[in-house]
Structure 1
Amino acid sequence: MHQSVVKRLLNCFAKGKADRYAISSNLSRGVQAYVVVVLVFTFSGLVGHDPWKADEAYVFGVVQHMYESSDWVVPMLAGEPFMEKPPLFYWMATAFASIFSHWLPLHDGARLASGFFMSVACWALGTTARIWWGAGMGRYAALILIACLGTLVQSHMMMPDLPLLASFAISALGFATILSRAHLGGFLLGMGVGIGFLSKGLLAPAVMVLTALLLPLCFEAWRLRAYWRGLLTAVVVSLPWCVIWPLVLYMRSPTLFMDWFWINNIGRFAGFSVPRLGTEHLPWFWSQTIPWFTFPGLPVALWMLWSRRHTALREPPIQYALVAFSVLMLVLATSSSARCIYAWPLMVPIAILAGPGACALPLQSERLWVGLSLTLFGVFSLIIWTGWVSMMSNGVPPNWPYLLRLLPVEFVPRFSVLPIAAAVLVTLAALLALWMFWRRPARGLAIWVVGVTLSWSLLTTLWMPWLDFAKSYRSVFVSMPIPAHTNCIASIGLGEGERAMLRYFTGRDPVRREISPAADCTVLLVQREAVFGEPDIDPSRWRELWRGSRPGITNERFWLFQRERGASSRLTFTGHTHSSPQPVIDKSPTF
């Protein structure tokens, strides 16, 4: 009898183990499908093109200097200190460029850092949502992050704001953990503060500290000793991140330290450096930007709040999301500088709220979302495929007037096997993903993300050469007939991205007349908007060698002059050619 009981217990154990294995296996297959979609979206388009106007060009200029000089303290752009942001993204991009230098061009390797930080943000958000909302909820928070329109293009560029997004996601994971495991939560929160500081400066620590202090002030659930122990751990963990680099920078140059801390941090927020540095906060900017930038995450998050309106303020994840979102919006609204990507941290509390909200949408809303996703991205994908077929058949870009206002008609398409193979593979994979997600929870969200991923992947495979032809500076600087025996190249009005790309494609750093008016260079490069006409350069002293612009661009022109033999380097010019000591950065949207 004893053996019989033991045998039955073993059989029950074996059966239970098998059942658990089957459930776990099915669950893991489901998770794997979502992970694959996130990874395909994150890494599509990261390689295969030059640094693009506007942000990528100047960011890569700093990365190139770090790669060549091994100076990891002072960011340099085309031979000049560039103290706009702390160097974390530059460090990681330089590291990736070095690791992959045997297989990828330097700029492609550097761009992989963007994929790394985006992956960290998705992982941290997914883990946070799973801790707060339960098993299976993490995937939906990650999907919300990549579903939002503001994430689509800029997350695939070299952007120093990407580590900032990752830092807020890590800090959210710290808040999700700190009440139950104080030291682990404090460690993660401290890491978030430190990474945010080395990404953007004072913004992240200020927002995270305010959030941490307001939570126990507003809600009783956070008034625990464990919470304060966790905050103490966070302070200790964040100190090396927030102290070492500024201290080393100050020891290297107090002037550069003040340029970073006072001009680019305090000055951009308070406004006294905005006229010189650009990115002015225009009236109603955020009220116009937030709705489309956070779509569809924000409407789903608002639905989540409405559906739980009776219990919302008693739930820690909702408490955190409301406080973090409010503090971030307060900082953005009061800052004198504003750009779309400054709203990236808002995605973290939105995704935490919208993840479970996507699983509880009314049936009619879910069906509407599915229909919109299939129609919208089906049409986009069909247009991309049709345009590629037209280019391959006719040897010229498709004659679509609206498109030709954005992309240059001078492009000459060429057939390549690898892009078409990748495009076919991703199209078939998207159809498979639609079949897999059709009967799963949050079907509207999943199909929307599959559509976004398919459209972006097709765009960055089939149309990548055309996009690169339009957005790269290669054709401009490679075509310049720079004399071989030039001692140096002076420049007037040359933007930061253009200076970086001149260095990358020609190996020469420009000497800006704005800061070195007496530079005795034999070649002069002028950049000027077409509306101001041609530069008034004395033809008896300077002979024009070349003029041009990026393909399809009519408002941005370049002129290359060579000094006549025996002539002085003095210039005669009027109007817009007298640019400010630091030209305003063109940080318009990528497309």
Structure 2
Amino acid sequence: MSPLSRTTPARLTAPATVKLPRLPLLGLAIAYIAFGLFMRDPWKTDDVVGLATMLTAVRDGGHAWLLPQVGHLAHAEEGPLITWVGAASMWLFGPILGDITAGRLPNLLWFFITTASLWYGTYLLGRRPEAQPLALPFGGEPTVRDYGRMLADAALLLLLATVGILQRVHETSEIPAIMAAQAAVFYSLARMLDRPRLGAISLGVALAASFLVRGWVGAIPIMLGSLLAFHPKSILWTRRRWGALSAALCVAIILAWWIPATLSSEYWIRNWKLWNIDNYALPEVGDLLRTLRDLPWYLWPTWPFALLALWRWRAWRYAPHVWLPLAMLVCPVVLIAFTDEPSDAEFILLAVPCACLAAFSLPTLRRAVVNTLDWFAVMCFSLTAATVWLGWVALNFGFPAKIARNIQRQTTGYVPEISWIAVALALAVSVSWIGLVAWRLRVRPTALWRGTVMSAAGLAATWILLVLLWQPPVDYARSYRKVSAELAEVLAHNVRPGECVRGLGLGNGQRASFLVFDDLNFPYDNRCTLILQQTSRSSLRDGTAAYSDGADVLWQGGRLSDRSEVFRLLRVPPTPAR
């Protein structure tokens, strides 16, 4: 039976695909990514480590461009691509914008690649004959163009509504870049259906990018998903000969980095290989249970609709609009089970395919179900916005007292400061959300994207309120700026001519923070008589911390918001010459 002879589950009329105005959609996307990206401190760990590798490449040059470094630390994890792009941005725009702001500009690039690839990929799939809704006896069904555009808009809005990716796309880490690489692969596969040469070229570049972003850990799920897309029952099977071009281009790009990297530092490459291998492990019950607990929240609200799409389109499972996103979804899901302590870096590979599948569920739903998504978004995000305001009032005015005490325990030592400009902007955002809800109540739009608009706008409004009202206490709790400044001042008064300071027990995030904020770099040299030690207060109390005896403590400090972590600057006797 021909696929087109089956009854399609999609049923809707032309009014359901009325065009969503481009300007509000663009404005929502810009507000989503811009707020929380700039004008804040780098947070530990991934956010500040990414910036540190970029700064090291710009300041030190040489092999730090080829092999990411955090000062003297070989950052033999992930891949070099975000370091290259971020360092280039710092070199170009750092003198104008400052290094930290310039290093964050590539996040706009990753976000653009992700959203554009998802939109165009879904649009191409939505225009195909297999995805079209049932033709009505007397006409009135949507045009192919309007239907494809509606699905693409819905997929983009559903991605913006995905709860789990919200914070991570604003960090200067590998996570936004690996999502962009996967989205580009998805678009390339969809493009190969009508323009195989262009699709094959972009597929090869995107696959290589996934490797250069996150090594084999990031590339394997995407590469396996690409192979699965060429299933013999899929239409892409007829384009399989173009896969050789993609593979050759991918291998060539990877080798262009791999060969000089291997020749440059055997130590870095050896540790990088170990990092890739150590990321995989046999499934453990604890990890699986944590994943099952976290994923539903991470992928909300797309995962229920993605599952519904697979059920409604089950007779069309090898049609491109179902099979391509499913192939990109299945492989990361399976590999998560074999990942040692899976986290956001693995979960984020589920966001794009889930958003695409969820969009294709919308034409199969009854109006009441779409309205349920609509009203859930209105109630949920109105409540979250009110909660953000309530917490801000408690933080700054001490009422309600119980909430204020809970906040103070998390921000010990923080002195609240009110920025009335931020408050005014937060009020404007709140009024805008109320206006959008009022519009929904008054106009009652029939367009199928109405629920996705409310979900995406509600999450964006909540995020913007958090950024405007809560950024100072969050910076206080997650940033090392004050500790770094205090340490820099102590070092300026205590380091003697010819003396060096080495680190002991410093975490990657802490080492990166001191480098980013005050250009403090700590070598691995046992001859150094000054030691910056990171330990815990409990270790100091029970005397188990290194150098508990026999060292002069020149300084001790840490973040007041962290009850455990403590830093000490020690002077020890010189190591005897051998």
Q: CA deviation at 1:120?
A: 1.2
Distance 2:367 2:58 in 1: 53
Instruction: Report if the CA contact (8 A) 1:207-1:328 is conserved.
Output: yes
Q: Aligned to 2:29, what secondary structure does the other structure show?
A: helix
After superposition, the C-alpha distances for 1:459-479 in whole angstroms (9 at most, x for unaligned) are 111221111111100111212
User: Which amino acid in the other structure matches residue 51 of structure 1?
Assistant: P
After superposition, the C-alpha distances for 1:2-55 in whole angstroms (9 at most, x for unaligned) are xxxxxxxxxxxxxxxxxxxxx9xx84x613212221221122100111111121
Instruction: Report if the CA contact (8 A) 2:42-2:479 is conserved.
Output: yes
Compared CA separation, residues 203 and 281, structure 1 to 2 (3 A): farther
Alignment map for 1:137-536 (pairs within 5 Å): 137-224=151-238, 227-260=239-272, 262-269=273-280, 282-309=287-314, 311-358=315-362, 360-389=364-393, 400-405=404-409, 407-434=410-437, 439=445, 440-480=447-487, 481-482=490-491, 483-486=493-496, 487-512=499-524, 516=525, 518-521=526-529, 523-534=530-541, 536=545
Distance 2:421 2:96 in 1: 16
Q: Aligned to 2:532, what secondary structure does the other structure show?
A: strand
Instruction: Report if the CA contact (8 A) 1:63-1:90 is conserved.
Output: yes
Compared CA separation, residues 383 and 105, structure 1 to 2 (3 A): farther
Partner of 2:141: none
Q: Identity over the aligned pairs, expressed in percent?
A: 21
Q: Aligned to 2:97, what secondary structure does the other structure show?
A: coil
Q: Aligned to 1:528, what secondary structure does the other structure show?
A: strand
After superposition, the C-alpha distances for 1:218-258 in whole angstroms (9 at most, x for unaligned) are 4152331xx12431231243234211111111121233223
For 2:31, which of 27, 40, 43 is the aligned residue?
Answer: 40
Question: Number of paired residues?
Answer: 526
Distance 2:218 2:540 in 1: 44
Compared CA separation, residues 385 and 98, structure 1 to 2 (3 A): farther
Distance 1:451 1:129 in 2: 23
Instruction: Report if the CA contact (8 A) 2:395-2:416 is conserved.
Output: yes
Distance 1:291 1:297 in 2: 9
Distance 1:468 1:288 in 2: 28
Compared CA separation, residues 390 and 203, structure 1 to 2 (3 A): closer
Distance 2:431 2:240 in 1: 51
Instruction: Report if the CA contact (8 A) 1:527-1:556 is conserved.
Output: yes
Question: Does 2:76 align with 1:83?
Answer: yes
Compared CA separation, residues 396 and 488, structure 1 to 2 (3 A): farther
Q: CA deviation at 1:108?
A: 2.6
Question: Does 2:35 align with 1:50?
Answer: no
After superposition, the C-alpha distances for 1:137-187 in whole angstroms (9 at most, x for unaligned) are 111111122211211111111121221111111111111111221101112
User: Runs of 5+ in structure 1 lacking a partner?
Assistant: 1-22, 571-591
Q: Aligned to 1:552, what secondary structure does the other structure show?
A: coil
Distance 1:217 1:368 in 2: 36
Distance 1:135 1:359 in 2: 13
Compared CA separation, residues 43 and 117, structure 1 to 2 (3 A): same
Instruction: Report if the CA contact (8 A) 2:229-2:323 is conserved.
Output: yes
After superposition, the C-alpha distances for 1:347-390 in whole angstroms (9 at most, x for unaligned) are 12211101132454434433333333222222222233344456
Instruction: Report if the CA contact (8 A) 1:358-1:445 is conserved.
Output: no
Partner of 2:136: none
For 1:30, which of 16, 21, 25 is the aligned residue?
Answer: 21
Partner of 1:6: none
Compared CA separation, residues 392 and 317, structure 1 to 2 (3 A): same
Distance 1:217 1:84 in 2: 33
Instruction: Report if the CA contact (8 A) 2:45-2:509 is conserved.
Output: yes
User: Which amino acid in the other structure matches residue 444 of structure 1?
Assistant: G
Distance 1:281 1:394 in 2: 40
CA RMSD of aligned residues (A): 3.0
For 2:570, which of 545, 548, 561 is the aligned residue?
Answer: 561
Alignment map for 1:51-130 (pairs within 5 Å): 51-71=42-62, 72-130=65-123
Question: Does 2:556 align with 1:547?
Answer: yes
Q: Aligned to 1:135, what secondary structure does the other structure show?
A: helix
TM-score with structure 1 length normalisation?
Answer: 0.81
66-75 or 92-101, larger mean C-alpha shift: 92-101
Instruction: Report if the CA contact (8 A) 2:111-2:176 is conserved.
Output: yes
Compared CA separation, residues 167 and 294, structure 1 to 2 (3 A): same
Instruction: Report if the CA contact (8 A) 1:502-1:508 is conserved.
Output: yes
Distance 2:106 2:285 in 1: 28
Distance 2:303 2:220 in 1: 24
Compared CA separation, residues 88 and 397, structure 1 to 2 (3 A): farther
Compared CA separation, residues 281 and 63, structure 1 to 2 (3 A): farther
Compared CA separation, residues 397 and 476, structure 1 to 2 (3 A): farther
Compared CA separation, residues 177 and 399, structure 1 to 2 (3 A): closer
Distance 2:418 2:405 in 1: 23
Instruction: Report if the CA contact (8 A) 2:225-2:329 is conserved.
Output: no
Compared CA separation, residues 540 and 127, structure 1 to 2 (3 A): closer
Structure with the bigger RCO (C-alpha within 8 Å, sep 6+) is 2
Instruction: Report if the CA contact (8 A) 1:281-1:338 is conserved.
Output: no
Compared CA separation, residues 436 and 201, structure 1 to 2 (3 A): farther
Q: CA deviation at 1:569?
A: 5.2
Instruction: Report if the CA contact (8 A) 2:185-2:226 is conserved.
Output: no
Compared CA separation, residues 448 and 197, structure 1 to 2 (3 A): same
Q: CA deviation at 1:323?
A: 2.3
After superposition, the C-alpha distances for 1:386-440 in whole angstroms (9 at most, x for unaligned) are 44456566799995233334x3142223343542343244334434544566513
Distance 1:252 1:490 in 2: 25
Distance 2:291 2:236 in 1: 31
Instruction: Report if the CA contact (8 A) 1:128-1:173 is conserved.
Output: yes
Distance 1:174 1:538 in 2: 57
Distance 1:111 1:469 in 2: 20
Distance 1:209 1:194 in 2: 9
Compared CA separation, residues 374 and 135, structure 1 to 2 (3 A): closer
After superposition, the C-alpha distances for 1:499-555 in whole angstroms (9 at most, x for unaligned) are 12222333331234xxx4x3232x222211333334556677422233222132102
TM-score with structure 2 length normalisation?
Answer: 0.83
